[in-house]
Structure 1
Amino acid sequence: MSNMDLLSQTMYVFSSALLYPVMILLTLLVFVSLIQLGEFLSEYSKRNRDRSNLEIGCKKIRDSLPNSAFSEASRALEGLKQNYMVTSFAREAAKYLEERNFPAIEKLSEEYEIKMAKRLENTKISSTVAPMLGLMGTLIPLGPALIGLSQGDLETLAQNLMIAFATTVVGLFSAGIAYVLTQVRRRWYWEDMSDIDYILDILEEKSGN
């Protein structure tokens, strides 16, 4: 056996051994995608971007800070009723505002930006990995399928083609869900960061006076 034949045989055995892990990972990705879809729907049902409430709250903050009424400004900030990320940020920032710790508020906004990016990573990774696994699950069975075709073994051919088509569909299904969730969440978090930046701008403007 030549070196090329040995190398080809080794690669064939290695790629064939990857088929079951790929199928298992694709199955897990389907469940992960469905869980992510459930979390997405839950998050969607709780989203409430009330711009009038934001403006009223920020006006109270704007009016309170020049008079050094930090407790009143803190209560106004804590009373904001927005999307989860913005509301959570406002409640945590209110504690720092009462302590007049403006650098901590800015650091907190950066932490929330990281938190949003981390949530996007989960679905973004799924949308990238799922098609790769689907492609692997498509190509790996084609070797045995072609061997079966050359030997006239239609049963082996059909079984491997069925696996190839199934893994393609499953991979695209998982990737499609993850891609849509990523795009919609990205817009949501842009809106949330816009509101957080707006709050920060008011605090920085008044704290600098």
Structure 2
Amino acid sequence: MDSVHLIEQLLYEVATALYFPVIAGCAFLVCYTPLQLGMTLFEGWQRWRHRFDDREMFGLALDRLRYECKMSPQRLEIEVERLLQATELGLSRSLDRVRFVIKVGPALGLMGTLIPMGISLAALAEGNIPKMAGSMVTAFTATVAGLGAGVLAYLIALVRERWAREDVREMAHAAELVIAHIDPKKHEQRHLQEGADDALAVSA
């Protein structure tokens, strides 16, 4: 029994030690998620005005490869593909800044609920009603903050993922045009192969 009590006491101390980091994490998400929402609204306003920063930067990089780089057509095609992959990776990383809130927000909210509830029960056993009430208020507040941040981040991620798909499609088209300018026959063969793959996928 003594060993069980020691383990329980150890777990309680660990949970209590996590109290401040968890509450601080919830507070951070409460500030971070609206900031991401503001950035998303600003980007939406820019897109409404037909300003696409990622596409424009990709286009400038393509032009630089075409006119400044003195290399063989095969090497230039490889560099274009590499540029497209690097741009896609950058878009994925920008989405990860929001995606992590979808998972972390509810988890921190749950931890921010259970830890204060344990403290509240300990305070109740000691007869400290004000401390118990304060811990319960913190518990429910953390739940709302974590879940709210997760839901808002999910909605932001949906919008940004749609934008990212549109950008990747347009950038891939621009890259295809550059490759077609380098080697029209190879570009035509690639499209024929893609069409055959699509036909096989539909028939399957």
TM-score range relative to shorter protein: 0.7 to 0.9
Indicate which of 113, 133, 146 corresponds to 1:171.
146
Percent identity between the two aligned chains: 29
Q: Which residue of 2 aligns with 1:191?
A: 166
Deviations 1:21-43 (A, max 9, x none): 11111111211112211211111
Alpha-carbon distance in 1 for matches of 2:140, 2:153: 20
Q: 2:65 maps to which residue?
A: 96
Which residue identity does 1:181 align to in structure 2?
I
Q: Secondary structure at the match of 2:22?
A: helix
Greater helix fraction, Structure 1 or Structure 2:
2
RMSD between superposed Cα atoms in Å = 1.9
- TM-score (normalised: structure 1): 0.78
Contact 1:97 1:105 in 2 (8 A): no
Letter of the structure 2 residue corresponding to residue 88 of structure 1:
M
**Does the C-alpha gap of structure 1 residues 48 and 194 become closer, same or farther in structure 2, counting only changes over 3 Å?**
farther
Give the Cα–Cα distance (whole angstroms) in 2 for the partners of residues 24 and 147 of structure 1.
22
Report the count of equivalent residues.
Answer: 178
Aligned counterpart for 2:90 among listed residues 115, 133, 137:
115
Q: Distance in 2 between matches of 1:206 and 1:91?
A: 17
Q: Which runs of 5+ in 2 are unaligned?
A: 185-204
TM-score (norm 2): 0.80
Partner of 2:24: 24
Q: Which runs of 5+ in 1 are unaligned?
A: 51-81
In structure 2, what residue type is equivalent to 1:121?
A: D
